[in-house]
Each structure stands twice: as C-alpha cells, then as structure tokens.
Structure 1
C-alpha cells in the first residue's frame, strides 16, 4: 500500500479523498487543510462520505511531510496562487513523494515550461527521488489522452477539437465563477481567466502536447474570445442573482495553428443560464459535458457526461479528472523518479475496483 496524502479539500480535494479511499493499493495517510475551521474534522466528513475514515484533517504541513508519505495528491488551487502551489509541490517532492496535481498549468507540457517553473521541480526530484505528474482538472484527459485516442480511429484528420460546455449556475465556486470567469460582471471588464495570453498560459501546454503526439509543428498558438450579456436578470440556487446586462456567457478557443490553419483547438463554452447565447453549443443534459470532435473522414464526435455528489455535472468532471491523477500513482511508483506528462502516463483500467463501492 502506498501511503497517500490529500492536500486541500475543496471541489478537487473532496473527490481526491474518495478516490484514494476507493483505491485498493493506496492508503489515506493524512489530509492537509488551509482553513483552521476544517482542522480536526474527519476526512470522511470533508469528502461527503457517509462514514468516518479515521483521519483527522490538519494544518501542520511540516508534521505530515516529516512522515515521508509515498504520494501526495495536491488538490489546492494554483489558479490565483501559482508561486505558492509550486513551493508546496517542491516541498513534497523534496521528501521523495510522488505528487499528482492539476495546479501547475505550465507543466501540462513540461518540455516547453519556463525554467523558473521546471528547474525547481527537477532539482527537488533529483534531491528527494520523487515524481510529478500534472494533468488538468478541466479535465486533462479531455484535452490529451481522449482526443489522441479518438484521432487514431480516423483515416483523415483535419481538426481535433476539445470542448468543455457548462452551465455554471450549479458550480459551487462563487469567487471563480463571478470574478475569475466574470459571470455577472460588467461587459467592459475582461475577466482574468481570458485576459490576453492567460488562456494560452493555462491550456497552451495541452495544445502543444497534442501537437507533439500528432507529429506536427505549430506555427503559433492563437486565442479567440466571445462574450454575451444576460438579457434578463436571473437567480441561481447556489450563487444568487446575476443582473441583466452583465456577462452571462463566454466562449473562447486556444488554437494550435498548423500551416496557417487552426488544427488543434481547446474550446470552452460557459454560461450562467441556458437563456444566454442559445445559438452556441449546449450540453445534451443542459448542465455540463465534455466533447471531442474529430473533423475529417470519418467525422467523429464523442460526448462524455459524468455526475457525482448527487448528480452534479461539475462535480462529475472534477471526479473524472481526479480519477486520472489518483489512478496514475501506482504507475508512477513503478516508473521511478521523474517529471512526467500525459503522453508518458497510461490511463489504466480500474483493476481491483470493479463492484467495490466503499462509499
């Protein structure tokens, strides 16, 4: 059994606790929290399980890392604190842990990562003997292993398009939805998430990764952005009121350009209400889906719908992304120290977990 720490208990961390608990080769050893109000609470309660796990959450990072855990699922946010996230991950690598995380966007394709991010990680791996795998929570498999797998079914591939299509009204992250994504904010304010070059910083690594796998050279990476206002004021169950005239929908693309043509595209289409931008693609269930479209011969379209936490589609997307990360730990233990990406780490079957729901 690999002793495993879950660091962070937000939307990602809750799913990570459940995934580690369900894995027959992992043992939940500790749960790290930032909020003192969560300290002392049982991991099962924090994860939304109906049973205790016998692990009390703690804020004591030094004490947890001093036990030299075998693995760390770093589920704390890296969106607004990238330097802190990097420092935390380097600490875990230095004690020899396998670390899996969605928090370091620059390392989706680590070969193209800036030296200020890559070099401290490599130094920590060299010093401690740990391993790091970074995969997105949007989810990563939807922008790397799934589209690459599906592309292999075509005889002619013209465009690879990866879509996340979501209604954010049920996404329990008010700060991210309102201020990072900009829902409910004035239309003359560009949200931080889509400020120039930010989408490329976040998703460009996935575009480069797919280009490498497909054997093509990118001319450049481009960004497109469309935003629509709400025509009427709407009320959501989780985040309250969003006023008419403020941003109600956003659509952007991160395009990998090959010979002047967008050939590899990561696209996000998000709304706060289905009445906004009804002409844009919508999820079949009305709430959320991830879709891969291979334009070519044949044309192939695969839509993935996942739910968790009582039928929530955002939680389902988080859970599948976490499943990819947690499921990689045993492979990383076998592979040994190193910095890995999605082309290195296989997506393994759920061996030992079929029919064994421990929730």
Structure 2
C-alpha cells in the first residue's frame, strides 16, 4: 500500500529546525520542498549540506516571498522569538499552508485573544490548520501526564519538572537569562516575567480539563541559587557569589487547592559544591510526579551517551514533536487544532530499516 506524501517547508534551521529538517529528509512520507534560512552563509546551500546529510536538491533561501508562493502542505515554523513571527504565520496560513509551530503561540489560550483571532481568520482564509507545539509546552507538561492518568485510581496533584544542568546542556542565552548577576538584583527583576506562565497556559488548562477541572488561579514563585565557585560554561564564566541557579514555580489551583505545579530548575552544575541551594540532584530530565493512589514518577531523558550519562535532548525533542505532528495537522479540520483535536498522533515513516 502506498503512503500519502506530504510536501513540507522547513522555516529556520537552528537547533530545533535542524532536528526537524533531518527528520523530513529521512522520512519517506515527507517530500521536502523548501527551506527558509536567515543566516547568509546558509543561503543557496543544499538542505542536506546544512544538516550533514546527502544532497536533496532543495536549496535554502532567505526570500520570504518565494516561500509564501511555494506549493506545500505544511510549514514547520521554528525561528527565534521575533515580533514578525505572528505576521509570517498568518501569511502562511492564508496562503493555504498548514503551520506547525514550536515557536508558538500555544493555543487555545484565554490569555492570547488577539493572536487567536488573527490566526483563526488566517486559517479561515486559507482553509488551513495551525498547531503550536514543542516539548514544554507541548509534550512533557500535557501529553505525557495525560497519558499517565489512566494508571491512577485517584489524583491529588501533578508536578511537572524541567531539570537542566546548564553546564552539561549549555544555552547561548545563559547570561541573558540572568546567570552571573547579583542574586538580589535578579530576584528584584527576574529576566523571565511573572506573566510567562500565560504562554504555558494551554498546557496547564489542557491537563486540568483532562481531569474534569477548571483552573481558578495560577500563583508564581521565583528563587535563585548562589554559585559557590567560579563556574565555566560553554559560552563564558560566572563568578562565585553570583546567580548560579534559578527555580521558577507555577501552581494552578482548582477548588481551592494546588492541582498542577510546573517547576523549572536551571542549574549551572549538578553538585552541592557548585551552587547553594542545589534543588535537584542527578541528571537533566523532564519529570512527572503524580501524587495520589497509586502515586507514580516518570523521568524523560536521552539514552546513555558514550560517557555513561543520560543526555538532555530538549531542543531536538522540540523540533521532532512538531515534525512528527505534520501529517496529523495536514489531515485535521481547518482552524486551531490542539493535542485534544488531533487525538493520539500516529506518525508514519519512522521505521526505516
């Protein structure tokens, strides 16, 4: 039986976009037809060369208008945050292309009415679908815990934690995130706004609704850890006595009690000799803890690497969570489609001997 093929454009080829691009090149049910890049050094390169794979015959372009008129079923939209992103998404949708976006916005979301309205109008114009997705939000904080609910008789609360050692898993925006600053200064002016939880609200709300509940309010907590020594990382060094760790906590309350808690533990190092306090020991992971009867815990991390440790694949997972949803979004009804609308996604083309 022949499998339906989907014509796909990859928009942006950073770490997230490159993971998706590799998938599209390998997947036999995907026909890669276009690649949009912003790096001048990538313009004109074959898509395969960008990700160290054999040539595909598809050349990267930085011409947005060329992408807009290209015939395609879907666009995997994965640029850095940019004020122009929403406009580009709406143009793509209005041109008849379905959009799967790890860059957000993550819908449906009551806190994003203007974005929702513009995207819905563009979907109606192009008879297309939009799906915001990623690993968090988009997987570890919604799909993963929802699938675990069937193993429980009673749920008291659910905690989802993102635990990342930023030395072993470096990020280019370490200093931008506030590491290396005076702890009191960062506490007074967090680099991640207290309103950030609103961009994750679709996941919180989806999980609450899966339990038949409505969120009454979300409370926010922020604390920092101090570096106990100078700590080098891939992109620089932070000094002893400055911010070496950050913990964000968002709690969704239902019926007067905390029901869902999202934790973000970002640490430079994984030892009590590195920072104080060290909130989380062990390797980077996504973790779901369900308190109830029976309680359970699941950790999501990469398989063992050559050094014997488990790598953290947060950014590649973000790209793949979107790439493997392309087929389902293309086949979905027009408009904004959530994980609930898509049902249990069954991606084709993953088994390749």
Structure 2: how far apart are the matches of 1:309 and 1:195?
Answer: 35
Which residues of 2 match residues 277-356 of structure 1 at below 5 A?
277=276, 279-283=278-282, 286=283, 288-306=284-302, 313-314=311-312, 316-356=313-353
- 1:156 is displaced (CA, Å) by 0.9
Deviations 1:196-236 (A, max 9, x none): 222x1222221112112211122201111111111110112
Mark the CA change 1:347 to 1:121 in structure 2 (over 3 Å): closer, same or farther: same
Structure 2: how far apart are the matches of 1:278 and 1:349?
Answer: 42
Mark the CA change 1:55 to 1:312 in structure 2 (over 3 Å): closer, same or farther: farther
- 1:308 is displaced (CA, Å) by 11
Give structure 1 stretches of 5+ with no counterpart. Answer: none
Does residue 257 in structure 1 map to residue 264 in structure 2? no
Look up the SS of the partner of 1:140 in the other structure: coil
Is this contact kept in 2: 1:161–1:292, CA < 8 A? Answer: yes
Structure 2: how far apart are the matches of 1:185 and 1:45?
Answer: 39
Does residue 162 in structure 1 map to residue 166 in structure 2? no
Aligned residues between the structures? 342
Look up the SS of the partner of 1:177 in the other structure: coil
Structure 1: how far apart are the matches of 2:182 and 2:123?
Answer: 45
Look up the SS of the partner of 2:140 in the other structure: helix
Structure 2: how far apart are the matches of 1:309 and 1:4?
Answer: 32
Structure 1: how far apart are the matches of 2:193 and 2:314?
Answer: 24
Return the match for 1:15 from 19, 44, 50.
19
Structure 1: how far apart are the matches of 2:303 and 2:242?
Answer: 29
Mark the CA change 1:172 to 1:130 in structure 2 (over 3 Å): closer, same or farther: farther
Return the match for 2:181 from 176, 179, 185.
185
Q: What CA RMSD, in Å, does the superposition of the two structures yield over aligned residues?
A: 2.2
- 1:195 is displaced (CA, Å) by 2.4
Which residues of 2 match residues 202-281 of structure 1 at below 5 A?
202-236=199-233, 238-274=234-270, 275-277=274-276, 279-281=278-280
Q: Which residue of 1 aligns with 2:75?
A: 72
Structure 2: how far apart are the matches of 1:351 and 1:67?
Answer: 24
Is this contact kept in 2: 1:31–1:56, CA < 8 A? Answer: yes
Is this contact kept in 2: 1:20–1:28, CA < 8 A? Answer: yes
Structure 2: how far apart are the matches of 1:56 and 1:312?
Answer: 35
Look up the SS of the partner of 2:121 in the other structure: helix
Q: Which residue of 2 aligns with 1:27?
A: 31
- 1:296 is displaced (CA, Å) by 0.7
